[in-house]
Amino acid sequence: MRILVDMDGVIADLDGEFLKRWQERHPDKPYVPFEKRTSFYVKDSYPEELKPFVVEIFREPTFFRDMLPMDGAKAALFEMDRMGLEVFICTSPLSTYRNCVLEKYEWVENFLGVGWTNRIILTKDKTLVRGDYLIDDKPEIIGVEVSPGWEHIIYDRPYNRGVNKRRVTWENWKDILRF
Active site residues: 6, 8
3-state secondary structure labels for all residues of the chain:
CEEEECCECCCECHHHHHHHHHHHHCCCCCCCCHHHCCCCCHHHHCCHHHHHHHHHHHHCCCHHHHCCECCCHHHHHHHHHHCCCEEEEEECCCCCCCCHHHHHHHHHHHHHCHHHHHHEEECCCHHHCCCCEEEECCCCCCCCCCCCCCEEEEECCHHHCCCCCCEECCCCHHHHHCC
Q: In what order do the strands lie in the sheet with 151-155?
A: 120-122, 86-91, 2-5, 133-136, 151-155, 167-168
